Amino acid sequence: MTSPNTSSSSSAQAPVVVIGAGPIGLAAAAHLLERGLDPVVLERGDRAGAAVREWGHVRLFSRWSELVDPAARRLLEPTGWVAPDPGRYPTGAEWARQYLQPLADALGDRVHYRQMVTGVARAGRDRVVDSGRDTQPFTVHVRDSAGRASRLSAGAVVDASGTWSRPNPLGSDGYPADGEHDPVIARHVAYRVPDTADEATADPADVARYGGRRTAVVGSGHSALTALVALASLAAQVPDTKAVWVLRRGAVGNVFGGGDADQLPARGALGLRAKEAVAKGHIEVVTGFRTRAVEGAGPGACTLTLVGEDGTRVEGLDEVIGLTGFRPDHSILSEVRLRLDRRLEAPAALAPLVDPNVHSCGTVYPHGAAELAHDEQDLYVVGMKSYGRAPTFLALTGYEQVRSVAAALAGDHEAASRVELTLPETGVCGGAGLFDDADATTAGAQGGGCCGPAPSATASAGATGRGNLSVAGVSVKAAPQLIQIGTATNSSGGCGPTGC
């Protein structure tokens, strides 16, 4: 598409700029349009859901019924779009192809591809200047694929760019391990789940990279479990394929989940597959390991060693996969006034609700514009990026965020403060996972819920979105989903690995 109109205008006349054409950004545009506002979506990739497509081989832990935003559905249906089977579990590629791209197409020329946002500011004012600040429109600085810089005037900005481009490093202190980014070593370090689980559709490049080799997987979440299962599947096809599971915690403990007794069948099945691979000798487990350095030896440094903070060494590695979470990049917002929690880098009012030391995704109650507000009026960070370093984001929660934000920007503060989402109060909720087919795994979960016939918890209070919880005694219909599946580099505010 063409570059967006860069003429200046007053704040009242200017469009609402949405950064990122991922699931949450496109949902935001649908809600804004439904509210009579003028959204302009800026996406650095060449298609909608560019980040989601990076992990297109991974099957979501959510049914289609939990992956389509209500306003997006209302926009799509008049176009002849046919909703996928609500009970099926799509892959990332299917989600992008069957929902995200049609949604972007329905938004038409409001979506602009190959447009990288490089900065946001108040027109003519850096973050220090107070005078006339709130009456000025935003200036959104953009660079296209040819390197040409331009700027767009905006009445409001919704940053849904996600955290996909910022995987956490291997170093246990939050910085890259020594050697991690050395060019010779870096080519043997990845931050995404390999596409090797299904022999029929596996990526030949991944099979060649990991097949017959010894790979360390660093991380303890579902991303790591999924990668381990993928490598174990490859081991059944390619002899001498080995994996070393590197955990910071001192013991495996409940990392495998609850198995057959797990309330979430897919999560339990994933853990059982990983546990079985360990028992068969495909996976070696190293616990209590905090990475300090990555060393290379031999021609081209092709043999790697992980060095722990205590001097412990994991030697004889060919590849390393780091799956230790994500963090936000707020550099494009350095000239506006954010109000961030200093630990999580999430909006200050939201951080206590998403703190992973306290909450799992199922105990993060719905929230909206009030919790997402910053000192800079009419600027919102939504989606996975709004959670900062917390790993508990759900797509359903993101859809509720943008519904509330759109209402607030339209001046409907009553609707902005109202909660319109039902979530179960327990756990990460699920579906098929990497190793199941699109219709799989209903045992122990009925009616789309994650935990079988469990009571639903409906947040019914006002502005905070944390609300009073009323137990209705019915099956949960809006099941949240597993979110950490892998990492790569792109700008879209995608889900799956980065959230949802």
Q: What is the mean pLDDT of each run of 10 residues along the chain (500 residues)?
A: 50 86 98 98 97 90 90 98 93 96 98 98 95 94 97 98 94 96 95 92 95 94 85 92 88 55 49 72 88 87 91 96 94 97 95 82 77 96 95 87 97 92 46 40 32 32 36 29 31 42
Q: Which helix (H) or strand (E) holds 283?
A: strand 283-286
pLDDT for position 441: 40
Question: What is the number of helices (H) and of strands (E) in the chain?
Answer: 13, 19
Could you give the CA distance from residue 26 to residue 10 in angstroms, rounded to a whole number? 25
Could you give the CA distance from residue 49 to residue 98 in angstroms, rounded to a whole number? 11
Could you give the CA distance from residue 24 to residue 99 in angstroms, rounded to a whole number? 12
b or e along 26-50 (b: 16 or more beta carbons within 10 Å of the residue's beta carbon)?
bbbbbbbbbbebebbbbbbbebbbb
Q: With 0-12 CB in 10 A as exposed, 13-18 as middle and 19+ as buried, what is 152?
A: buried
Could you give the CA distance from residue 312 to residue 77 in angstroms, rounded to a whole number? 58
Could you give the CA distance from residue 365 to residue 31 in angstroms, rounded to a whole number? 21
pTM of the predicted model, to two decimals? Answer: 0.82
Instruction: Answer for the pair 40, 412: CB distance below 8 angstroms, yes or no.
Output: no
Half-sphere exposure for 421 (CA within 13 Å, toward CB): 31
Could you give the CA distance from residue 74 to residue 379 in angstroms, rounded to a whole number? 26
Q: How large is the angle between the packed helices 23-34 and 395-409, nearest 10 degrees?
A: 30
pLDDT for position 340: 97
State the pairing for strand pair 156-159/16-19.
parallel
Could you give the CA distance from residue 425 to residue 430 in angstroms, rounded to a whole number? 14
pLDDT for position 359: 66
Instruction: Answer for the pair 480, 8: CB distance below 8 angstroms, yes or no.
Output: no
Instruction: Answer for the pair 433, 226: CB distance below 8 angstroms, yes or no.
Output: yes
- Evaluated on CA atoms 18, 23, 26, 31, the torsion sign reads negative
Instruction: Answer for the pair 475, 446: CB distance below 8 angstroms, yes or no.
Output: yes
Could you give the CA distance from residue 393 to residue 495 in angstroms, rounded to a whole number? 9
Instruction: Answer for the pair 285, 154: CB distance below 8 angstroms, yes or no.
Output: no
Q: Tokens standing for 464?
A: 């905070």
Could you give the CA distance from residue 27 to residue 33 in angstroms, rounded to a whole number? 10
Show the beta-strand stretches assigned E in 61-220: 111-112, 115-122, 138-144, 149-154, 156-159, 189-190, 214-218
3 state SS of 16: strand
Could you give the CA distance from residue 451 to residue 41 in angstroms, rounded to a whole number? 37
Show the beta-strand stretches assigned E in 371-437: 379-381, 422-423
DSSP state of 213: S
Instruction: Answer for the pair 16, 34: CB distance below 8 angstroms, yes or no.
Output: no
Domains and CATH numbers, the chain: 16-165+326-498 (3.50.50.60), 183-322 (3.50.50.60)
Q: What distance, in Å, lies between the first and last C-alpha atoms of the chain?
A: 28
Token pair 């979430």: residue: 264
Could you give the CA distance from residue 46 to residue 302 in angstroms, rounded to a whole number? 34
Count Cβ atoms below 10 Å from residue 374 Cβ, excluding itself: 18
Helices (H), 42-160: 50-54, 70-76, 92-95, 101-107
